[in-house]
Structure 1
Amino acid sequence: MQQRTPWSAVLVLGLVLSGCGSAAVSDRTGTSGDDLVVWDWKSGDANAAAYLDAARADFAKSHPDVDVEFVAQPFDQYYTLLGAAIQSGKGPDVILFNGGGQLRDRVDALLPLDEYVAEDRRRLVGWDAFTHAGKTYAAPVTLQGHPLYYNKALYEQAGLDPEAPAGNWADFVEDCGAITDRTGAECFGVGNKEGIGIQFFLSAMGSAVLAPDEYDRWIAGERDWTSPNVKRIFELWQQVDAAGLNNDGVNSTAMFNDAFAIFQSGRAAHVIGLVSDIGHWKDFGEFLDPDDVGVMAAPVVNPGATPSLPYDGGIGYGVAKWTRDPEVAADLVRSLTSTVALGAFYADAGAIAADTAIDVSAAGPAVAAITSAIRTGKPALHVALSSKTVDLMGRLSQQLLSGSATVDEAVAQLAASDAAG
């Protein structure tokens, strides 16, 4: 695994897990003459406009005669459409991916970029999420992480110290009771309609349950689904909801953006959010006083655990193997991950980008807490899983909350899926 780089300043520029900003499906595929076609789900977003303009300008310096067309596909259909393009053997030249399983499941359709991005290795971080079998298949644009955000104003209203949130699970649950009794707010804002809530919960709470060596083995692919600690995470998922710590109707609440709306409206004291350009510090700061948006470590459940911020490369651009000129396409990827482009994305979207050269020191206390936690952060548990296993986990997580599956049944199915690859 790549050495994690200490950050003096980090930027969040994240992957969105929603279909925000998607456009109508286009049948525009790949290279025509000197054109390059890029597929993504971001280019329809107003917050991404300056980012794309800066990337185009950077690319045009070395390739003034190459036209670049960005085609925004709807996120909920994105990988289905991409799968059809891959099956046909033709499609976009440059492709946006989520880090982890979504990229790794499709590396046969991509070109390794190692020879093209060598100069960017030190400047950018988050490469691990875009590598497979020792080769790099995309360059990171953003980091994605899952901080536990909390509302300091609700803590204060409940008579709690907003600068000293609970460090262990028992105290945390007690504080949640005080907050609900005195403010009426729920403990957690959660959405699992799409099966995404469990991904956030597993990764945000995992380091508070698993011992550090067990966590590291999970990331390395040595996962023991029968481990009491692994089962404890899924038991906790059930118990939190059964105890009434969540908002009502978690399985009918969309993560994007209903769960976040519950938090930012003050109806929940905590939410497991993102460090990207949605469900993050800047979004929350538009509704809450930015100084009231706190970031806390996951409260320790197992005394042998050491909580850490789960983060990886968030979104990144890869090059399709059918592109006519791989070097030119790779140059576009480098422009899309240039400091000038990523700086524009941060400025407009508040995303924490994968570029260590971007100064975020003036962004406020939430970003300061996130960037400080990145120094000791570890990869997210769910990102280490295949997309097939993640999808299964989403369905099982809904069954766990509805009572139609037990934890033992769920982990047995997940173990089988994980073993199948």
Structure 2
Amino acid sequence: MEQRALWSAAVVLGLALAAGCGSAAGPGPSGSSGDKLVVWDWKSGDANVAAYLDRAKADFAKSHPDTEVEFVAQPFDQYYTLLGAAIQAGKGPDVMLFNGGGQIRDRVDALVPLDDYVSQDKHRLAGWDAFTEDGKTYAAPVTLQGHPLYYNKALYEQAGLNPDAPAKTWDAFVRDCGAIAGKTGAKCFGVGNKEGIGIQFFLSAIGPATLTPQECDDWVAGKRDWTSPNVKRVFELWKQVNDDGLNNDGVNSTAMFNDAFAVFQSGKAAHIIGLMSDIGHWKDFGEFLDPADVGVMDAPVVNPAATPSLPYDGGIGYAVAKWTRDPKLAADLVRSLTSSEALEAFYAEAGAIASDTTIDVSAGGPAASTIVAGIKTGKPALHVALSSKTIDLMGRLSQQLLSGSTTVDEVVAQLADSDRAS
């Protein structure tokens, strides 16, 4: 069985490499004569990013007219497996897309530090920290990704609540959820944890309303105290919300993508911790609900000593493989993929909150404007600071916590051990 799995992985990798291996030829005087760059991602097959890629390629062609650029879209559910195999083989694409956080930090040994190539873009783009390790930058951010707490203003109105003044404290929030359930039948939260993702969203959205600002800063800096009562309180709330019936039924069997979002979009839940970009975000919700009814609120304060803020980081970004023959040429392509013109198209067509925060999002409606305004005081998402190994463990333990097969004390103890070992 193991031999078959290894053979299958090898076949998949072989096909992926055949579909697009890095093949930058030796550069001519301008670094762009007869060259080819291959890009791996999971986005380029989507119709709503076509305009973004067209603008990026046009920008790159201005200075490298003879360099061919080939985008190879890989399936996201296999992406990091394929990428890991390519890294182990020491060959593959010249440029590759990464999520910010643990996914890229676990693989920086295979990447080119980009600081010497993108320094002039640092002032224009936000979200760099999610692609940085040991003081070096390994990818340029394309989007910002975070976890706003969205709410349905129409349900608030039906429940006799002021849709423009959502609750500021946790106790008041729970009371409002009770009023909404009584008048509309809608649950408080739409949640999906089949993949173990729901806990990530919950930790990053509710954590800043529960931990003190110093605890949040220490957490992101790697000085995490898993024994803190405030950290334990986040996991206690995760269980309590579900035990009290505030979530949709069957959270552990509900996929975040896209079943949980459908619960919110259909008006069956008044709130959802969603995303800023890509999917399950303001533009998606505005296609099902009246955009004016899609609200964004601060997380209700659990701990009076906490200061809620928008949790966000760099969402996705392009990196350069260490094996590419011409790092500067590949880095020039990364710069084109983060040009203002390209990112403006990404926002307009896909609804992404781009890393270039100078882009005017006022036409996107009140939710997008509220999100962008929150970036000024926002802080990194707590789950992004964790290693991919600890993230995976947290997902499994969060399912056990909801099912009642483990305790909060056991969960934080295991996560602390994993975090220390990462």
Give the TM interval when normalised to the shorter protein. Answer: over 0.9
Q: Which has the higher contact order (CA 8 A, sep 6+)?
A: 1
Matched, 1:231 2:238: no
Matched residues in 1 for 2:297 and 2:206: separation? 12
Task: Give deviations 1:328-370, integer Å, cap 9, x for gaps.
Answer: 0000000000001001111101110000231112221111211
Check conservation: 1:43, 1:49, Cα contact below 8 A: yes
Aligned with 2:363: secondary structure? coil
CA positional deviation for 1:258: 0.6
Alignment map for 1:8-407 (pairs within 5 Å):
26-27=16-17, 28-31=20-23, 33=25, 34-407=35-408
For 1:399, the aligned partner's letter is: Q
Kindly name which structure, 1 or 2, has the bigger radius of gyration based on alpha carbons. 2
Give the secondary structure class of the aligned counterpart of 1:362: helix
Residues 55 and 335 in structure 1, CA contact (< 8 A), matched pair in contact too: yes
Q: Which residue of structure 2 aligns with residue 12 of structure 1?
A: none
Q: What is the distance in 2 between the residues matched to 1:336 and 1:405?
A: 45
TM-score by length of 2: 0.93
What whole-Å deviation, never above 9, does each CA across 1:288-331 have from its counterpart, x for those lacking one? Answer: 00000000000001111111010000000000000010000000
1:242 CA displacement: 0.3
Shift of 1:52: 0.6
Alignment correspondent of 1:19: none
- Any idea what the Cα deviations from partners look like across 1:58-106, whole Å, max 9, x if unmatched? 1111111111111111111111100000000001100100000000000
Residue 394 of structure 1 aligns to a residue in which SS? Answer: helix
> Hey, what's the Cα distance between the residues in 2 that align with 1:368 and 1:67?
38
Q: Tell me the CA shift for residue 31 of structure 1.
A: 1.3
**1 CA distance for matches of 2:264 and 2:412?**
30
Give the counterpart letter for 2:164 in structure 1: E
User: Letter of the aligned partner of 1:298 in structure 2?
Assistant: A
| 2:150–2:295 Cα contact (<8 Å) kept | yes
Structure 1 segments of 4 or more deviating over 4 A? Answer: none
Residue deviations 1:240-284 (CA, integer Å, cap 9, x gap): 000000000000000001100100110100000010021011100
Secondary structure in 1 matching 2:418: helix
CA positional deviation for 1:29: 2.0
Is this contact kept in 2: 1:25–1:72, CA < 8 A? Answer: no
Q: Is the 8 A contact 2:156 2:163 kept in 1?
A: yes
Deviation at 1:191, TM superposition (A): 0.3
**Distance (Å, rounded) in 2 between the aligned partners of 1:25 and 1:294:** 45
Letter aligned with residue 254 of structure 1: A
For residue 209 of structure 2, give the secondary structure of its aligned residue in structure 1: coil
- Specify the SS of the correspondent of 2:62: helix
Q: How large is the Cα RMSD of the aligned pairs?
A: 1.0
Q: By how many angstroms is 1:35 displaced?
A: 1.1
Residue type of the alignment partner of 2:171? A
Match of 2:411 in 1: 410
> 1:26 corresponds to which letter in structure 2?
A
Q: Secondary structure at the match of 1:52?
A: helix
Hey, what's the Cα distance between the residues in 2 that align with 1:202 and 1:177?
A: 23
Asked if the contact 2:100/2:316 (under 8 Å) is kept, the reply is yes
Between Structure 1 and Structure 2, how many residues are aligned? 398
When normalised by structure 1's length, the TM-score is 0.93
Separation in structure 1 between the aligned mates of residue 204 and residue 132 of structure 2, nearest angstrom:
20
State the Cα distance separating 1:374 from its structure 2 match: 1.1
- The one-character-per-residue Cα deviations of 1:102-142 (angstroms, maximum 9, x if unpaired) are 00000000000000001101110100000000000000000
For the 8 Å contact 1:25–1:73, the answer to whether it is kept is no
User: Conserved in 2, the CA contact under 8 Å of 1:158 and 1:183?
Assistant: yes
Which residue identity lines up with residue 344 of structure 1 in the other structure? Answer: A
Task: Name the residue aligned to 1:13.
Answer: none
Asked whether the 8 Å contact 1:25–1:74 carries over to 2, the reply is no
* Equivalent position SS for 2:374: helix
Structure 1 residue 390 displacement after superposition: 0.5
Q: Distance in 2 between matches of 1:153 and 1:356?
A: 29
What is the identity, as a one-letter code, of the residue corresponding to 2:146? Answer: G
SS in 2 for 1:26: helix
Q: What secondary structure is seen at the aligned counterpart in 2 of 1:207?
A: helix
> Structure 1 counterpart of 2:117, which letter?
Y
CA distance in 1, matches of 2:278, 2:96: 19
Q: Contact 1:142–1:315 at 8 Å: present in 2 too?
A: yes
Q: What is the alpha-carbon distance in structure 2 between the residues aligned to residue 376 and residue 358 of structure 1?
A: 18
Distance 2:21 2:363 in 1: 41
The answer to whether the Cα contact below 8 Å between 2:24 and 2:326 also exists between their aligned partners in 1 is no
Rounded Cα–Cα distance in structure 2 between residues aligned with 1:284 and 1:66: 39
Q: Cα distance, 1:25 vs. partner?
A: 6.6
Whole-angstrom CA distance in 2 between matches of 1:102 and 1:230:
24
Distance in 1 between the 2:321 and 2:189 partners? Answer: 41
Q: Deviations over 1:32-52 (max 9, x none)?
A: 531111000000111111101
2:51 & 2:188 partners in 1: Cα distance?
37
Supply the distance in 2 between the matched residues of 1:384 and 1:25 (Cα, whole angstroms). Answer: 33
